[in-house]
Structure formats: structure tokens, C-alpha cells
Amino acid sequence: MKTEEEMNVSENATVEEQETVTLDRRRDVSNNPLCLSGRAVTKIFGSGKKETVAVNRVNFDFHEGELVSIVGESGSGKTTLSKMILGLLPMTDGEILFRGQPRDISTNRKKREYWKNIQAIFQDPFSSFNVFNKIDTVLLDCINMNGGKDLPKEKKIEMMTEACSFVNLKFAELTNKYPFELSGGQMQRLMIARVFLLKPKILLADEPTSMIDACSRATILDMLLNLRDEIGMTVIFITHDIGLAYYISDNVYIMEHGFFVEHGSADDVILTPKADYTKRLISDVPKIHEAWDLSTVE
């Protein structure tokens, strides 16, 4: 695993050196099998005069091993889309295909089978855990779900210790505690530890580093990238941070008012944007050594 120092580009690095660090992360996944697809996916809340179209007939194709970002401001529809992808929110119209076949989550059993292959890290970790379950139970459930129910107790403790160590937590300090006894950042790390144990085919990460201090974010992102490399996991980032999207992504989708206004490789979308909305998102990114342009702020 790369160290935090290797992950961070120094302030004195040249533009060429920074581009090399970024481009080293790029992958051409266009020839990989499709993992998840959407056709005219739509979500409408309310009806009549109170109708709100949160997601408007969007199409997408995510490949195995792809790291893709869906970028947009608050209210753009990206979180609503992520909940439909996870099967937590029903679609008003459209179709989602998993591995080329129409997704079937019509029963609880079929949902559980689907969730073995797709997991999420949510922006708000406080609502992601059952307050009555201790951390040991949270991690043991992951081991059991992944076929390790009959493993010896010592092996399970070893696996839980390794998963916590992967995200710089110490299992010995967490055992017999409840998730709400942790900080927000520790809870987000615990969610990533769950992913380490489950090793799903798809990870949907909704602002996964929002509660982690700045100096640890690069390390956490590197952990997710290592998971992608180890098991060919598809990672879908939901973010408002277009700089982060450019740094980590193979491909980027830009979302505005429920539509995908632009998508393509990270280099094409960020370096040569076509949509006015994309251009505004890029121009709104503050630059440390330049006067901030606040003219686009509404």
C-alpha cells in the first residue's frame, strides 16, 4: 500500500509531476464486461403541481473494475440515483441491469442476494448502523454473509482484526463497544472495514471521506483503490468534489437537475468540458494562489 506521503502531491511538484500521479490511476475499462447498467432510470416524487422529477431518464454503463464518479451539487439527484441503484428506493420508471440481466429484487431473499454483490459507504455514518448492535456483531455479520459462519472463533477474530487494521483502527479497542461510541470519522472507517470483509463486486461510496480529517483522506482513498485492484471491484463515487473526481476516476458523469449533462473519461470531461454546468463546477473550485472568483455564486 502506498504511504500517505506518496499519495499526496507536494506543493512544489511541477504540473507535469502532478499529472503523472493522476494519470497513473487511469484505466481503460471499455473492454471489461458490463457490471451495472441503467436505461431511462427515473424517479418522481409527489404528483400534480407538487410533482418533483429528481432523476430524469438517465442512462449509464459501469464496467467491472471501473472507478467512476457521479458529480453534482446538492439537489442534483445523485443521492436519489444511488439509492435506486442500491435497491433502497423504487424507480418510477426505467430499468437497471446487473451483469447484463434485468435486476430482480422483488423479494427479500433476492434483495439479500443482490446486496451480497453491492455495498455502500454512506455520507452519514450515524444512520448506517443499528444502535443496538455492538461492533463485534457488525463485523461478524459481514463474515457470516460472506460464507464464514462456520469458521473457528479465533479465525473470525483474526479477520476482524485485519479488517480494522486495514482502516487504521484497532479491533482490541473496539470490541464490546457500540458504533455510536465512535467519532464520525471512525464510523466511516468502520464502514470501509465492513467492505473489506464483504468484498462486494460493486461499492457505492457517497462522500466516503466527508467525516475524515484531511490528512487521512488520501490514505482512505488509497485503501479503496487497493480493494479495487485486489478483487476487480467496481467503485461508484457520489460526490460534489469535482477535483476529487478528476483525481481518482476513470470516467465521470456530471449531473444537474436530474439529468446527466455530460459524461466520459475524466480527462475529457474535466480538461475539455462541453456543458456549461461542468465549466461552472470547475471554475467554482477555489485556487489557493489566485483571487477567488465569486461571480458565479448564486
pLDDT > 70? residue 291? no
For the residues 190-208, what does the mean pLDDT come to? 88
- Indicate whether 237 belongs to any domain: yes
pLDDT > 50? residue 176? yes
CA distance 266 to 252: 5
The residues pairing with 256 across neighbouring beta strands, listed in sequence order, are 259
Question: What CATH number does residue 124 fall under?
Answer: 3.40.50.300
- pLDDT given for residue 5 in this prediction: 42
DSSP-derived secondary structure for 223-264: HHHHHHHHH--EEEEEES-HHHHHHH-SEEEEEETTEEEEEE
Q: pLDDT band for 4, please (50, 70, 90 cuts).
A: very low
- Indicate whether 28 belongs to any domain: no
CB 35 within 8 Å of CB 234: yes
Q: Is the dihedral of CA 177, 155, 198, 27 positive or negative?
A: positive
Number of structural domains found in the chain? 1
CB 115 within 8 Å of CB 85: no
- pLDDT given for residue 48 in this prediction: 86
The phi-psi region of residue 176 (left if phi > 0; otherwise alpha if psi is between -120 and 50; otherwise beta) is left
Cell of 44: 418522481
pLDDT > 90? residue 58? yes
The share of the chain scoring above pLDDT 70, in percent, equals 85
- Indicate whether 91 belongs to any domain: yes
- Indicate whether 147 belongs to any domain: yes
- pLDDT given for residue 68 in this prediction: 95
Cα dist. 197→2, 34, 164, 167 in Å?
21, 24, 10, 12
Lowest mean pLDDT among 27-36, 59-68, 253-262: 27-36
- Indicate whether 29 belongs to any domain: no
- Indicate whether 9 belongs to any domain: no
For the residues 14-38, what does the mean pLDDT come to? 67
- pLDDT given for residue 298 in this prediction: 57
- pLDDT given for residue 6 in this prediction: 42
- Indicate whether 105 belongs to any domain: yes
Q: Each residue of 238-267: pLDDT tens digit?
A: 998 888 888 889 999 999 999 999 999 999
Q: Each residue of 79-136: pLDDT tens digit?
A: 999 999 999 999 999 999 999 999 999 999 999 889 889 998 887 777 778 888 999 9
Q: pLDDT band for 28, please (50, 70, 90 cuts).
A: confident
- pLDDT given for residue 13 in this prediction: 38
**214-231 and 184-198 helices, crossing angle to 10°:** 10
Domain that holds residue 154: 34-283
- Indicate whether 297 belongs to any domain: no
Which residue has better confidence, 68 or 207? 68
